[in-house]
Structure 1
């Protein structure tokens, strides 16, 4: 079972699952996925939040990938409530 944090939303779950299944993505490509169902702008805000907590990494040109911590979270091996935000993001 996944252990989410109070700052997380259902959009975060969908974004992380998309990145696991597709290896990488931009807010635009993620928003076009029928399982995600959130707009590009909202996804952009959420990937920045996920990045600040270390669950995704920004590669440049709008592309994000899942980090090892993101994979551990999806596998139920990481409690997201224990992650501290990086104020630089």
Structure 2
């Protein structure tokens, strides 16, 4: 993830959808159309945005989670963390016959 990605996702969160040209014209995303297009393809490959066709994109629920700090997008981090800890067998499962 690079700074442009955050700006793109923030734009799509606020506007609900947009094309690279819209983002650049708004002044909110201050990069070239071609660079924004390139980053949108990368964000789409990670499930953060969805291509609606004809160059129009929208943010996904996954993209919203990223913006809210609920998703770590680093290469080595899992998307979801299992919060249940295995504490071994319960007392009812540990039966031994004498």
Bin of the TM-score, shorter chain as denominator length: 0.7 to 0.9
Off by >2 Å, runs of 4+ in structure 1: none
Kindly tell me: are residues 83 and 57 of structure 1, through their superposed partners in 2, closer, same or farther at Cα, counting changes over 3 Å? Answer: farther
Structure 1: tracts of 5 or more residues without a match: 1-7, 85-89
Kindly indicate whether residue 84 of structure 2 is the aligned counterpart of residue 79 of structure 1.
Answer: no
Could you say which structure has the larger radius of gyration? Answer: 2
Gaps in structure 2 of 5+ consecutive residues: 80-98
Q: Which has the higher contact order (CA 8 A, sep 6+)?
A: 1
Aligned-residue Cα RMSD (Å) equals 1.4
- Output the CA distance in 1 between the equivalents of 2:63 and 2:20: 17
* Of 27, 38, 48, the match for 2:41: 48
Aligned residues: 77
Match of 1:11 in 2: 4
* Distance change (3 Å), C-alpha of 1:10 and 1:63: same
Give the Cα separation in 1 of the matches to 2:43 and 2:71.
14
